[in-house]
C-alpha cells in the first residue's frame, strides 16, 4: 500500500493528508479536493489475494460499477460517493468525509445502546437500504463498523464501494467472499448469492450487536463464526417489543421467511422523540426517515397497524409467517376464524379503541359481532380486541392472499408476545384471530371499489382459554 506523502496527489486532484483506517479491501485516506476545496475520504481499493486474473478483472469491474452506482444514490442515510479515480493502476473511491464514530466504536467504548437509540439506528439503516435496493444496489457488507453515528442522532451507512448490482448476472459467479462472515446471511455463505434479503440479515445482526455489545455469531475464529451462522440459532436479545421482533424476524435463516425492509420499518415505526443520541448519550429528537405514517402518542399497536396499512402489501404474509413462527409454538394458543360472506362469522362489524374494546360474546362459528356487543372493559367480558392489521393497503382488485390464515395467527401471536399484554398469572390467555373470508375480501372491491374498515383487516382478540370471563383491559398503557 502507498505510504502517506506530503506531496502525494491521487488522480491529480486529491491531496493525501492522513490515514483514516484500513481493512480487508484497502485503506482509507483523508484528502483535500483541490478543485472543490473540501476534505473528502478516499478509499484505496485492494482486492483479496489469490484471485485468478480473469476473476480479478470481474471484481474490479464490479467494484467500479457499484461505486458509480452508489454515487447516484440520494438519501441522508447513505455516505455520498463523489468520484471514482484510477491512479497508478490502483482504483480509488472518493466519498463524503464523515466526522463521526462508528457503531462498533461506540459499543466498544460505551457499551450497548439502549432500546430507543438502537431503534432509531435501525429505522435509518433500513430506510437507507430501501433506497439502495430500489435502485438495484445490494450493499454486501452491512456491519457495525460501516454504520456511522453522527451528531443529532444521524446515521450514515458507508462503504457502498463493494456493493453489487442485484441485476448484473455477469458479476455474481466469481466464488470469492467479500465481507464480514459474522454478518453474512446463511444463503450467502452457502452459495454466494446476494440479494436485498442478505443486507437485511446483516441489519438484524448489526442491531443485535447494538443492543447486546457483541455480534450474534461472534466466535474465536473465522471458521467457527461461519459454522455458527450456518448451524447455530442466534442467542436471545435483552429486548422485547418491536425491536426484539425485528431482530428475530431479520435473523431468519430462510430468505423467503425473513422480514422485508418495509415490514421491518413498519414494526420500528415507534415514537423516536426523546431518544438518546447513540453517539453521545445526549437526548435528541431523532428524525424518522421511514416513508410510513408518523407515529402518534397512543397505545402502541394501534398505530403500528396504521403504519402497516399505509405501506404493506401481500408480501407481508409470507414474511411474518416465517419470520416469527409463533403461532405454532404453543404459546399463546391461536384460533383463526373467517368473517363475512361465506365465513365462520357471517357478520363482523365492530370497532373500538385499543385498550377499551371489549365484547360480551365469544367470536366463533355462526356468531354475529356488531356494535351492540361492546361492553366496558372494567366490567366482565368474554374477549378484548388488542390489535388490528390491514392485510393490504390498496383499493385495487387483488387476489385473496395466500396463507392469510397463517399471517393472521402469526401477527396476533407476535403482538401478544411483544410485552404489550398484561398477564396477572390467574388466567391462561388465548388468542382468536379474525380474518376476512375470500368472499368478503373479493366482495369488498367488487362492490365499493375501495377497502373500508374490517373488510380486509385482521383483528386480534384476547380470551380466557377455559372460556371464563375477563375483567379489566389486558393492553398495557403507554405515555
The b/e string for 275-305 (b: 16+ C-beta within 10 A; e otherwise) is bbbbbeeeebebbbbbebbebeeebbbbbbb
Query: Looking at the annotation, which residues are catalytic?
Result: 141
Examine the pLDDT at 104 and tell me if it is beyond 90. yes
Residue 474 lies in a domain: no
The stretch 147-155 carries a mean pLDDT of 89
Q: Is the dihedral of CA 110, 115, 117, 123 positive or negative?
A: positive
> How much is the pLDDT for 197?
92
- Among 96, 120, 155, give the residue marking a domain's end: 96
Helix (H) or strand (E) holding 84: strand 81-87
Between residues 10 and 281, the one the model is more confident about? 10
Torsional class of 146: left (φ above 0), alpha (ψ -120 to 50), beta (otherwise): alpha
Residue 76 lies in a domain: yes
pLDDT band at 4 (very low <50, low <70, confident <90, very high): low
Starting at the edge strand found earlier in the chain, the sheet holding 147-149 runs: 101-102, 147-149, 155-157
Residues 190 and 130 in one domain: yes
Residues 119 and 258 in one domain: yes
Residue 477 lies in a domain: no
Residues 416 and 460 in one domain: yes
> What are the cell numbers at 91?
482504483
Q: How many CB atoms lie within 10 A of CB 436?
A: 28
Residues 399 and 435 in one domain: yes
The separation between CA 447 and the C-alpha centre of its own chain, rounded to angstroms, equals: 36
Residues 345 and 279 in one domain: no
pLDDT band at 321 (very low <50, low <70, confident <90, very high): very low
Examine the pLDDT at 153 and tell me if it is beyond 70. yes
Residues 245 and 369 in one domain: no
Give how far Cα 382 sits from Cα of 139, 362, 388, 434, Å: 50, 6, 18, 15
Distance, CA of 389 to CA of 391 (rounded, Å): 6
The separation between CA 120 and the C-alpha centre of its own chain, rounded to angstroms, equals: 11
pLDDT in tens, 33-62: 999 999 999 988 877 667 778 777 777 777
Q: Which of 164-173, 184-193, 232-241, 421-430 is the least confident region?
A: 164-173
pLDDT band at 376 (very low <50, low <70, confident <90, very high): confident
> How much is the pLDDT for 66?
67
Examine the pLDDT at 64 and tell me if it is beyond 80. no
Residues 223 and 359 in one domain: no
pLDDT in tens, 304-314: 443 343 333 33
User: 23 pairs with which residues across the strands?
Assistant: 26
Examine the pLDDT at 470 and tell me if it is beyond 70. yes
* Backbone phi and psi for residue 196, each to the nearest 5 degrees, phi listed first: -55, -35
Place of cell 402518542: 297
CB 469 within 8 A of CB 381: yes
> What are the cell numbers at 302?
394501534
Q: Are strands 429-436 and 333-339 parallel, antiparallel or unpaired?
A: parallel
Residue 1 lies in a domain: no
> What are the cell numbers at 309?
396499512
Residues 123 and 84 in one domain: no
Number of domains in the chain: 3
> How much is the pLDDT for 148?
92
What DSSP character marks residue 151?
Answer: G
Residues 30 and 49 in one domain: yes
- Among 38, 61, 96, give the residue marking a domain's end: 96
pLDDT band at 68 (very low <50, low <70, confident <90, very high): confident
* Backbone phi and psi for residue 113, each to the nearest 5 degrees, phi listed first: -75, 155
CATH code, domain with 75: 3.30.200.20
**Mean model confidence pLDDT for the chain:** 76
> How much is the pLDDT for 264?
86
**3-state DSSP helix/strand/coil % of the chain, to nearest 5:** 35, 20, 45
> How much is the pLDDT for 257?
78
> How much is the pLDDT for 200?
95
Q: Which domain holds residue 348?
A: 315-464
CATH code, domain with 175: 1.10.510.10
pLDDT band at 226 (very low <50, low <70, confident <90, very high): very high
pLDDT in tens, 105-147: 999 999 999 999 999 999 999 999 998 888 888 888 899 999 9
Distance, CA of 276 to CA of 49 (rounded, Å): 42
Residue 19 lies in a domain: yes
Residues 327 and 272 in one domain: no
Residues 366 and 412 in one domain: yes
Residue 146 lies in a domain: yes
> How much is the pLDDT for 318?
39
Residue 264 lies in a domain: yes
CB 40 within 8 A of CB 34: no
Which residues have a Cβ under 8 Å from the Cβ of 231 and sit 6 or more positions away?
none
Examine the pLDDT at 322 and tell me if it is beyond 60. no
Q: Which of 110-124, 275-289, 431-445 is the least confident region?
A: 275-289
> How much is the pLDDT for 461?
93
> How much is the pLDDT for 211?
94
> What are the cell numbers at 101?
464514530
Residue 344 lies in a domain: yes
Q: Does the bond joining 332 to the residue before it have cis omega, within 30 degrees of 0?
A: yes
CB 155 within 8 A of CB 185: no
Residues 137 and 282 in one domain: yes
- Among 45, 66, 96, give the residue marking a domain's end: 96
pLDDT in tens, 389-401: 777 655 567 788 8
Give how far Cα 8 sits from Cα of 40, 89, 90, 469, Å: 15, 15, 14, 79
> How much is the pLDDT for 53?
80
Amino acid at each position: 500500500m502507498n505510504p502517506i506523502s506530503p506531496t502525494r496527489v491521487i488522480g491529480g486532484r486529491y491531496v493525501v493528508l492522513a490515514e483514516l483506517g484500513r481493512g480487508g479491501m484497502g485503506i482509507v485516506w483523508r484528502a483535500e479536493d483541490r478543485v472543490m476545496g473540501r476534505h473528502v475520504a478516499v478509499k484505496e481499493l485492494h482486492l483479496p489475494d489469490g484471485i485468478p486474473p480473469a476473476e480479478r478483472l470481474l471484481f474490479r469491474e464490479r467494484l467500479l460499477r457499484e461505486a458509480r452506482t452508489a454515487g447516484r444514490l440520494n438519501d441522508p442515510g447513505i455516505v455520498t460517493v463523489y468520484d471514482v479515480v484510477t491512479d497508478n493502476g490502483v482504483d480509488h473511491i472518493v466519498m463524503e468525509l464523515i466526522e463521526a464514530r462508528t457503531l462498533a466504536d461506540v459499543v466498544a467504548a460505551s457499551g450497548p445502546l439502549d432500546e430507543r437509540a438502537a431503534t432509531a439506528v435501525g429505522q435509518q439503516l433500513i430506510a437507507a437500504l430501501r433506497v439502495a435496493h430500489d435502485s438495484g444496489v445490494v450493499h454486501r457488507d452491512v456491519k457495525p463498523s460501516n454504520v456511522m453515528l453522527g451528531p443529532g442522532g444521524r446515521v450514515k451507512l458507508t462503504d457502498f464501494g463493494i456493493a453489487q448490482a442485484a441485476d448484473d448476472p455477469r458479476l455474481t459467479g466469481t466464488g470469492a467472499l467479500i465481507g464480514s462472515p459474522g454478518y453474512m446471511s446463511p444463503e450467502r455463505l452457502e452459495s454466494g448469492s446476494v440479494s436485498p434479503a442478505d443486507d437485511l440479515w446483516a441489519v438484524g445482526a448489526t442491531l443485535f450487536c447494538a443492543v447486546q455489545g457483541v455480534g450474534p455469531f461472534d466466535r474465536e475464529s473465522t471458521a467457527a463464526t461461519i459454522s455458527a451462522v450456518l448451524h447455530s440459532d442466534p442467542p436471545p436479545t435483552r429486548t422485547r417489543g418491536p425491536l426484539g421482533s425485528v431482530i428475530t424476524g431479520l435473523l431468519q435463516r430462510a430468505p423467503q421467511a425473513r422480514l422485508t425492509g418495509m415490514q421491518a420499518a413498519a414494526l420500528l415505526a415507534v415514537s423516536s422523540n426523546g431518544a438518546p443520541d447513540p453517539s453521545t448519550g445526549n437526548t435528541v429528537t431523532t428524525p424518522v426517515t421511514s416513508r410510513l405514517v408518523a407515529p402518534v402518542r397512543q397505545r402502541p399497536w394501534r398505530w403500528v397497524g396504521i403504519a402497516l396499512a399505509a405501506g404493506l402489501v401481500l408480501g407481508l404474509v409470507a414474511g411474518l409467517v416465517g419470520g416469527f413462527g409463533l403461532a405454532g409454538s404453543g404459546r399463546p394458543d391461536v384460533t383463526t376464524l373467517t368473517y363475512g360472506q361465506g365465513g365462520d362469522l357471517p357478520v363482523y362489524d365492530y370497532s373500538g379503541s385499543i385498550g377499551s374494546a371489549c365484547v360480551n360474546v365469544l367470536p366463533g362459528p355462526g356468531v354475529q359481532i356488531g356494535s351492540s356487543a361492546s361492553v366496558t372493559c372494567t366490567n366482565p367480558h368474554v374477549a378484548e380486541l388488542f390489535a388490528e392489521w390491514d392485510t393490504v393497503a390498496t383499493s385495487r382488485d387483488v387476489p385473496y392472499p395466500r396463507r392469510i390464515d397463517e399471517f393472521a395467527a402469526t401477527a396476533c401471536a407476535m403482538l401478544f408476545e411483544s410485552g404489550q399484554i398484561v398477564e396477572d398469572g390467574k388466567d391462561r390467555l388465548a388468542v382468536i384471530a379474525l380474518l376476512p373470508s375470500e368472499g368478503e375480501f373479493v366482495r369488498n372491491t367488487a362492490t365499493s371499489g375501495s377497502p373500508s374498515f374490517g373488510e380486509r383487516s385482521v383483528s386480534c382478540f384476547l380470551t380466557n382459554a377455559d372460556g371464563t370471563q375477563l375483567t379489566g383491559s389486558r393492553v398495557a398503557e403507554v405515555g
